[in-house]
Chains A and B, each alone.
Chain A
Amino acid sequence: TIDPGLILSKAQKDAAFSEGYEYPNNQFGSWIQHWAGGVLISSSRYIQQTDDNLWNDHYALIRNISQIRTQLLKGRENDPKARTKLAIARIVEISIWQRLTDLFGDVPFSETALGVDAVNNQPKFDTQDAIYKKLIQDLDAALSQITPTDDSYGAADYYFKGNLTQWKKYGNSLKLRLGMRIRYADAALAQKTVTEAMGQPLLESNTDNAAVPTFNDATNANVHPVLNHWLAGSPDLKYLAAPLVAQLVNSKDPRLARLVQPTVNSVKAGTPAYKGIGVALTDELLKTIIKDDYSTASQTTFFNKAYSPAIACLAMSYSDVCFYKAEAALENWGATPDQAEKFYQDGVRAALAQNPYNITTVPADFQKELSFTGLSKDEKLEKIGTQKWIQLFGRSYEAFIEWRRMGYPALKAGPNLGSTNGQIPRRAIYSSRETLLNKTNYDEAVKRLANGNSYTSKVWWDKK
């Protein structure tokens, strides 16, 4: 056997890093118009294909993290040396499950990850509805199992270095996220879950962020995934999308220069300017692109190996939590609507303060973005959604998930019709390996999807 800490480390790191690499950025990141994938990542142009790696890698993450409960510390729920470690591993696992089902919808869940002695060759797909119910239950159980006097993971725990108070906060925040995600699909459960979570300690500042440190002086496996995207990826796939750049420019967002690189030609001409490429362009439009007229991510921060301090890779941020709290407050779930603006502002300030922006004073001409004054509830949600969208730059899965849930910011699909007749995809496509090897259960799950296993079918909670 092996020290379970080694397993936890890998799961934390791989799960957090996986959403910021070149491919997710150019597929999911293009769909939500952070990045402009272009012709090389054809899924960015809505040409449908299976998301084999995404699917396979998430189940591999689950295989590893679940070894802690199915083998390494199996049955030691009452042992102080193992009890809290089991709970923490379970919480990490739940966060991975949530992302998996959020991206695909129904996935095999209850019949899998039961340990190496009980592997099911063909697990059936559970509905997302059922998965959410179980995840919330399991999370409650795990949270109640965290005992302050127990052994923890110490240095192996990238998020909190074994700090159990922080684990409690993270667990509650995860519960808040689970509850909020299903608000348009199961309002009652959402309200109950969110309200409960709001009553518990949540992430309180950026120092509570669940994050994996990165190391720029080491191999490319240790650098921030967005930096890895730059170092190891293709020069053709480093361009940002027009809507993101326009949003930052138009709102005079102080993050602009730290997130976006002025175009090569504008710099040459002595008039540095920021411009993003349109997404999902047609062949005809692609021919009109001269790359030097467009912006990449900033080569002084994200795309800079010399940038110091290295940017931590976020799994969940205080800012995330603030935006959920604002939304909850608007619904009167565990907070009152008048508290929403404050939560929202906390969220934006926390986002600005994140490395590499490190902005602690909100510039005057950006203040207006922090105000809810005179806005309808939907407009407030739009503000929350938009700021969340910017804050989630580099976390392409989470950004895609939250954009679908909230419906904000309003994004206009690119002109290429692709496989979706010009719709922005709403989900990822089951792996071809799963299709071949678990056919019966796959077929059954596909039947439950409105448009089959396609980009245009929506997952259960995607009602808005």
Chain B
Amino acid sequence: RETFAQELLQQRITIKADEQSVKAVLTKIEKLTSVKFLYSPSLIKSERKVNLNAVNEPLSKVLESLLSPLQVSYEVAGKQVILKQEPLPQPVEKKASVSHEPFAIEQPITGIITDAKGEILAGVSVLVKGTNRGTSTNGEGKYSLVAQPSETLVFSFVGYIKKEIVVGNQTEINLVLNEDTQTLGEVVVTALGIKRDKRALGYSIQEINGESLAQAKEANVATSLAGKIAGVQVTRAGNGAGGSSRVVIRGANSLVGNSQPLYVIDGIPMDNSNVNSPSRWGGIDYGDGISNINPEDIESMSVLKGPNAAALYGQRGSNGVILITTKSGKSRKGVGIKYGIDYSVGDALVLPDFQDEYGQGLDGTFTHFRGNDGKIYTWAAAKAANIQGIPKMSGGRDRFTRASWGAKMEGQQYEDQWGNVLSLTPQPNTFQTFFNKERQMANNISLEGGNDNVNYRLSFGNTKIDGYTPGNTLNRNNISLRTIAKLTPKLDLDVKANYIGQRGNNRPTVSDAADNPAYLWISQPRSIPMSILENSTWTAEDVSKQLGYGTTPFIGLEKTYATNSSTANPYWTRDHTRNSDDRQRLIGLIKLSYQFNDWIRLTAKTGTDFYTDQRLRYREKGTYQSQNRNGDIIEEVTRVREDNSDVLLSLTPELSKDFSLSLNLGANHQKFYARTTGNTGTEFIAPNLYSINNTLINSYVFNLSESSINSVYAAGSVGFRDYLFVDFSARNDWSSTLSPANNSFFYPAVSGSLVVTDALNLQNSTLSFLKVRASWAQAGSSGSPYQLTGNYALDQTPHGGQPLGSFTSIIPDPNLKNELTTSLELGLEARFFKNRLGLTFAYYDASTKNQILNIPLPPSSTFTSRRINAGEIRNHGIELSLTGTPVRTETGFSWDATFNFSRNRNQVVELAEGVSTFLLGDDRNVQVIATPGKPFGTIIGNGFQWLRDDKGNRLIDPTTGLPLKTNAKLLYEIGSALPNWIGGFNNTFRYKGFSLSGLMDVSQGGKIFSQSLREELVFGTIKKTLPGRDGSYVADGVVAQKNADGTWTSTGQTNTKQVRAQDYWNVIAPDKDNVVSEEMLNDASYIMFRELTFNYQLPSKIISKTPFRNIRAGVYGRNLFYLQRKTDGYAPEASSFNVNNSSLGLESTSLPLLRYFGFSLNLEL
């Protein structure tokens, strides 16, 4: 605190005042600096007129010259400067200056004052009530004074709750002062990095400090936003160490691509793209941009929700903006060293609910038999002919051979498909055996320091992850150097360089692809020992004794039990395939600002984010999925660069004593460039040499994208008497991605807020603060480059030396315009009971029109889609946050609780002329659409449907006892992918140095279509398929009767006929392409105990005996458990396999969500 006070007082300001009120001068100083004055106007006679003329003088000096003639003294607490009418008493340490009141029974009293965290508080004023005797605590938090037993001591400190203690016979009074957080003027970072008092804002912005992100660490910092901010939905697919997260603020605005916010770091937008993200047919998630950022470098994150807060970012702000402010140095004596270590271990939280009773086979028994004559028979044939021998398992692709509908596992001898003689026993813990515990270690060290003119912060962070999937590792180094210097009294320089070096290895493949490691295990026969598969190549013995594999196995081939395109052997994938990626990234910033006088400031800055991402992937010869089993390789390099340059003129002219004005005028130039080059090669020639030129066939990979946007903008704020504020902003963008006729767009925004309690003087003991606000804004997007013209492409491989050409499948539109989002927001902020309870409420209604859409066309149009400006999507909803301090005791115990709730309604108002349905995504047996009149993300089953009576009962075939389904597959609506509401509930308990904090993350409503469930049901691998395997399964429904015309009607009787579970489930899922769609649907609702952290800060008494300034240790858990979950064997958060809208509501054999436990230790020298 001392350091901070020093820094605060040493900042230089230029100010001139002629016959102005003290109050006006103070307000002026507040504007020039980040300080805030606290004073009682009557006490210091703030209307008094003063003269002042200071040019680039330290604040301390300015204050002195302003205040000393008024006989006003001040003290600094945080950013607050508290003004008092009398001079501070002399420190009492000098015994000589002890009060000389003529009373005999005075006694000396000493003590230490700390805050709830155990940190010492310096500068706490200690007054003897009713007198002007007093002192303040020193740098160690100690005080000492003399008082009579009957007197009362008043301890007060800005930002803390005042305490009064009767002296009595005590000689030592140690106290804990509790923070009174609500009274502090909350300063938040707004668009363009402008710090504003939150009370002046007319739109909603929520800030989260770096500390809460750095606790319970997630490798991808965006993921840790889950549940913390109203209206922000965060999901992270099971995508391996360092994967992407999907952040959607206030619902999806766009039908295409993703609805991810813009990330801006220290004023410089970052490229958050995830190049070549996975699709429904597999792929690897190499992580997005935000996953590269070190959480430890983050000072704070501001979430600008939607256009109202983010209008100044023009077209890029339409999905909201997340502003990240990184840490900078502080001027101090010597070098401040901070070190932190964080270690966590993660393991699967939800696993498929495997059954461990029945083994491979069908109809409750084996499928094949090896006679003693060595010949193989079907089970039935062997039994019929009474052949002697041993049961034999078969390979194969369908449920007739490799399902787990077989015999009860009771140790029977059998020969497996490769000829090993084994006993039929349960093989539990498939996932646990194959996968690892994920281990994550983060080490961070930072050095900081500086003086009046220069400060710096240098940090180094290393994150190492040994992933859940064996062989998957991530090693990330972040080096950040930031220095802020005063070049001349008027010229400031801010320079930052952030280097990120990240290397990933063997990231897992996700979704519907053979080498997704989760894919095989979910359908694997429950009796195959993992050790059999671990020897992952075919041997001569295997080849000679195998049954059912087909005709191609050869020695050295990847050994799988089925020839399904989706069943690679994960052990082979682990041992004989490799992928690696190396990302070198530099994010840099240079900012110069010049203070012309006390109200004009010019800032120029330029920043860049550029990176090279080098990826290599190969699969050895013998890999089943590679062309002709001969392996393949791909190597590619992507270079991405985004440059942003800005100039900003800030004006804060003095208007009058009632009006304040600030005005910002700026211009921006943004340039984006991405280029991918590489090669693919198939079929290795020589074994064990993994280079492109050792392949039979190779071809190129090439991709290029360039664009730029020029902008000018203006933003201003008018304040009236510090309770009424009107903000306005306007921006014009010129984008290179549209034609010159259409490439200019204007985005205005206006907002207002009124602090009702101040304006109407309503403050009372119940209502402490009330603010109402409203805002209106427009923002938009100009889409991606190269969308105006159609183009021809050549096939990857020519045929007989002749290149093969084709025309784009998207109809281009040269007259495209920009998209436009118009958003209205109304809000309310209130605090009650002396700020013990706070409430924030927002209603918003945003509508995005003229979307640049690839409107899907029926194939018969010969094109897949038409690119046009079309449609209107409306997102409207409410957000509610409650913060409160239910308990706060004298002893230093406090309980803070925060609850947030948001409900978004996403409506497709219209698409395009003649287009009624937009296809968002599809997968086996399912399509996800957007269509007017239905919510965004309506799930359409593309499979069989139950026949039901008019009461909704399933019709049961009286002969078979099985439910009846439609004759053929059909399209029918089965649910909606989006939740009804999401929320978070956070509780923090503090006592002295201890703090315990728990976060609950809630999402209610919405459905997920699960592809895992389909596999598990087809192959009978989960517990759900156990009941009734003996033939006692009774399907829910009513007995039906067949009419003459072949249709069925209900007889009204409840079905009681017993069937085999196998027959029942095979009606639902006979194979992967013919399921009863509605049965694959799970409710996505969950209540997750997301985070629990327990921290302990060593008390100052102990710290003071060590060389450290601060020691904090903690333990935490993330993704602890569900209080509610309705999914079958997978995490509801895994409801998408990439960050795009196209995978909404689709679970595709996802990797499990991990539960982490960790500890952290932070030291400060």
Contacts and interface: CB of A to CB of B under 8 A. Distances in A.
A236 B858 contact: no
Interface in B618-660: 627-628
B812 to A, nearest CB: 8
Given A40-B1071, A158-B800, A55 B859 contact: yes
A112 interface: yes
Contact of A10 (B548, B796, B806, B811): B806
A63 B862 contact: yes
A13 B802 CA distance: 11
A13 B399 CA distance: 36
B811 A219 contact: no
A315 to B, nearest CB: 14
B1110 to A, nearest CB: 61
A377 to B, nearest CB: 38
A48 B795 contact: no
A40 B398 contact: yes
A136 interface: no
A17 to B, nearest CB: 9
A232 interface: yes
B70 to A, nearest CB: 77
A220 B626 CA distance: 11
A122 B703 CA distance: 33
A113 B368 CA distance: 55
Contact of B804 (A10, A113, A236, A437): A10
Interface residues of B, number: 75
B634 to A, nearest CB: 14
Given A1-B792, A49-B1074, A116-B811, A235 B551 contact: yes
B968 A48 contact: yes
Contacts of A39: 398-400, 1070-1071
Contacts of B1012: none
Given A63-B862, A433-B858, A437-B856, A38 B380 contact: no
A50 interface: yes
Given A213-B800, A236-B550, A42 B1073 contact: yes
A339 B971 CA distance: 52
Interface string B361-401: 01100011000000011101100000000000000111110
A286 interface: yes
A299 B548 CA distance: 18
Contacts of B682: 219
Interface string B237-277: 00000000000000000000000000000000000000000
A221 B1070 contact: no
Interface in A18-68: 38-40, 42, 47-50, 55-56, 59-60, 62-64, 66-67
B53 interface: no
B1107 interface: no
B805 interface: yes
A231 interface: yes
B799 A221 contact: yes
B861 interface: yes
A368 interface: no
Nearest to A56: B859
Interface in B839-880: 855-864, 866
A257 interface: no
A113 B862 contact: yes
A434 interface: yes
Contact of B967 (A42, A62, A231, A419): A419
B751 interface: no
The size class of the interface chain A forms with chain B is 35 or more
Contacts of B549: 235
Given A215-B799, A236-B396, A9 B805 contact: yes
A127 interface: no
Interface in B808-847: 809, 811-812
A119 B811 contact: yes
A434 to B, nearest CB: 5
Interface stretch (B574-582, B735-743, B915-923, B984-992): B915-923
B803 interface: yes
A434 B859 contact: yes
Given A120-B861, A432-B927, A437-B858, A48 B919 contact: no
A436 B797 contact: no
Sort A-B residue pairs by CB-CB distance and give the 7 closest, nearest first: A235-B550, A6-B805, A48-B968, A438-B858, A63-B862, A108-B860, A10-B804
Given A39-B399, A108-B860, A287-B380, 6 more contacts: A121-B913, A236-B550, A288-B380, A290-B547, A432-B971, A437-B915
Interface of A: 1-3, 5-7, 9-10, 13-14, 38-40, 42, 47-50, 55-56, 59-60, 62-64, 66-67, 71, 107-108, 112-113, 116, 119-123, 125, 155-156, 158, 212-213, 215, 218-222, 231-232, 234-236, 238, 264, 283, 286-292, 296, 299, 305, 419, 429, 431-439, 442, 454-455
26 contacts: A2-B792, A9-B802, A39-B400, A40-B397, A42-B1074, A48-B968, A49-B969, A50-B942, A59-B861, A60-B862, A66-B862, A116-B811, A119-B862, A121-B914, A122-B858, A218-B797, A219-B797, A231-B627, A286-B400, A287-B362, A433-B856, A433-B859, A436-B917, A436-B919, A436-B927, A442-B858
